[in-house]
Amino acid sequence: MTGTTAASVASGDAGDAGTPGTRRFARVASTVLRVGLGILWLAAGALKINDPDGMVRSVRAFRILPEALVDPVAYAVPFVEIALGVLLIVGLTVRLAAAISAVLFAVYIAAIASAAARGLRIDCGCFSAGGDLTSEAPTHYTQEIVRDSALLLTSLLLARWPAGYLSVDRLLNGPARQPLDDEDDLLGSTHGIADEEDIADVGAARP
Amino acid sequence: MTAAERREKVAAARAAAAARERRRRQLIIGSVVAAVLVLIGVIGFAVQNSREESKPVVLPASATGPDNAIVVGKADAPVTLDFYEDFQCPACGSLERTTGSTISDLIDSGDIKINYHIMSFLGDESKRAANASAAAANEGKFKEFHDALFVDQPEEHTGGYQTDTLIQKGASVGLTSDAFVSAVRDGKYDGYVAKVDEDASRSGVTSTPTVLVDGKQLSADQLTPDGLRAAVSAAAKD
């Protein structure tokens, strides 16, 4: 009985390796990625929030958005970044936060790539307000795109495997009681990947 | 149906109900969080917008150029240049060192007039210097003060162009009036400085120094004494 339950948990995990050891590794890795990405968002937002002028210049320098949208986007983005950071660090709606992160990084990559393609000389403003560069200053488009791509990948991994330790999601949903299909898990709570103890609980609860 | 089968069925139904409940709860939590994120964005916009409450724009006397640029040179000069500079920008400093005397010669000979758009995006040092240069413009000594500031330009982002330094710089070019000193101290032209920077950014200036000759932007390798003279005489022939 216990054996089949464990097997079904593993298969319900859709894509995770089957053994409890690898599942635990996946959760630890997910937790590390989650907190790391959260701290990064916090830092990125905090560095920009006190320089609204610079953000406006930075957003405008990309020459993508129409003038009417430059101020709203420039003003709102640092706040949203900080909010994402908080969500990820405390582990609330991890899957949603990771998906939004992925979308943001994809947008940033597209913007930087388009600026590079058009030969604009701008500082991306990723970790500062950025903006126009003097004509002598170097651009760092390649590094910026590589870095944001790594962060995009991180976000996607986290959206796929959001369940980790030390998260509010885990408190809200509790550890697994039943093996569930992956698609039940809209926000990445923890029950998709049950701990060994949880599996033992299930086994024990059954007659 | 055996008792065991019934128990299995009940357990399965219970599990399905629990899964539905969980899903519903996650949907609600997710929607609330998404709504809060949007709200935070809106609040952020409002907060930053109110911080941007701009100071009153006081125009200095010679700010008669396009976008309230400060005009230097004879009004009937055949060629008009637009200079976009930030007093902290190292590239502007090197342009002034290599080409500053050529620029002054061309102004003095009446060949060109210059609309100076003093930008201030490199930080508070730039803003202080720009405010002081507007105060100098109001007294008709913009060019002298501008040149003096570039003579020993402080390193970028090192807290240069302090108020006292700017007042001393002013005194060195004969700006000693109380009006100048108090304008430097009180940031009288802060609103003007912000407006000029904003206008420059809006008109698509993406780096400093940017130099336009009769509206056409010079490339970086034209920003030399010879390059500038050639561009000016070409523009004069048109």
Residue B232 lies in a domain: yes
Most confident option among A178-182, B18-22, B133-137: B133-137
Q: Is residue B208 in a domain?
A: yes
Provide the pLDDT for residue B148. 95
Q: What is the pTM of this model?
A: 0.68
Tell me the pLDDT tens digit for each residue of B85-125. 999 988 899 999 999 999 999 999 999 999 999 998 888 89
User: Which range has the worst mean pLDDT, A1-10, A18-27, B175-184, B202-211?
Assistant: A1-10
B102 and B198 together in one domain: yes
8 Å CB contact of B206 and A93? no
Domain match, B49 and B81 both: no
Do residues B17 and B73 both lie within one domain?
Answer: no
For residues B130 and B203, membership in a common domain is answered with: yes
Q: What is the pLDDT of residue A133?
A: 54
Assigned domain for B183 exists: yes
The answer to whether residues B133 and B159 belong to one domain is yes
What pLDDT digit, counting tens, does each position of A101-122 carry?
Answer: 999 999 999 998 888 888 776 6
So what's the pLDDT on residue A50? 86
Residue B60 lies in a domain: no
Same domain, B128 and B33: no
Please indicate, yes or no, whether residues B230 and B209 belong to a single structural domain of this protein. yes
Residue B96 covered by a domain: yes
Per the structure, the complete domain to which residue B20 belongs is given by: 1-53
Q: Is the model's pLDDT at B4 over the cut of 70?
A: yes
State the pLDDT at residue A137: 57
Asked if B155 and B125 sit in the same domain, the reply is yes
pLDDT tens digits for B16-49? 998 898 889 889 999 999 999 999 999 999 988 8
HEC string of chain B equals CCHHHHHHHHHHHHHHHHHHHHHHHHHHHHHHHHHHHHHHHHHHHHHHHHHCCCCCCCCCCCCCCHHHCEEECCCCCCEEEEEEEECCCHHHHHHHHHHHHHHHHHHHCCCEEEEEEEECCCCHHHHHHHHHHHHHHHCCCHHHHHHHHHHCCCCCCCCCCCHHHHHHHHHHCCCCCHHHHHHHHHCCCHHHHHHHHHHHHHCCCCCCCEEEECCEECCHHHCCHHHHHHHHHHHHHC
- Least CB-CB distance to A189: which of B26, B121, B208? B26
- What would the mean pLDDT of B164-188 be, rounded to a whole number? 95
- Please identify among residues 92-121 of chain A the ones whose CB lies closer than 8 Å to any CB of chain B: 92-93, 96-97, 100, 120-121
CATH number of the domain within which B158 lies: 3.40.30.10
Nearest CA in chain B to A205: B11
Count: domains in chain B: 2
pLDDT given at position B101: 94
User: Is B4 in the same domain as B93?
Assistant: no
Query: Could you read off the pLDDT of A79-109 as tens digits, one per residue?
Result: 999 999 999 999 999 999 999 999 999 999 9
Same domain, B85 and B168: yes
